[in-house]
Amino acid sequence: MQVPHIDGEICVSCGICAYVCPAGVIEVKSAPRVVKPEACIDGCMECVDNCPTLAIEIVRQ
């Protein structure tokens, strides 16, 4: 399965990734967290494409 990996060093906690994710995989409070990795949709890439700081990559597990 694929899951998003967020680089906390370059993330600015804007919340866009959680907003654009159609599957509720990411939650952003003070910092983003992957809360439902099993729901990530293969090939979606919305979070990666919309992150303003390029902090997200999709990794295969």
Under the rule (CB under 6 A), what is the footprint of ligand SF4?
Answer: 4, 6, 11-17, 20-23, 25-26, 28, 32, 40-41, 44-47, 51-53, 55-56, 58
The CA–CA distances, whole Å, from 50 to 25, 61 equal 15, 22
Which of 44, 60 has the CB closer to ligand SF4?
44
By the 8 A CB rule, do 26 and 56 touch?
A: no
* Chain centre to alpha carbon of residue 23: 11
**Least distance from ligand SF4 to the Cβ atom of residue 42, Å:** 8
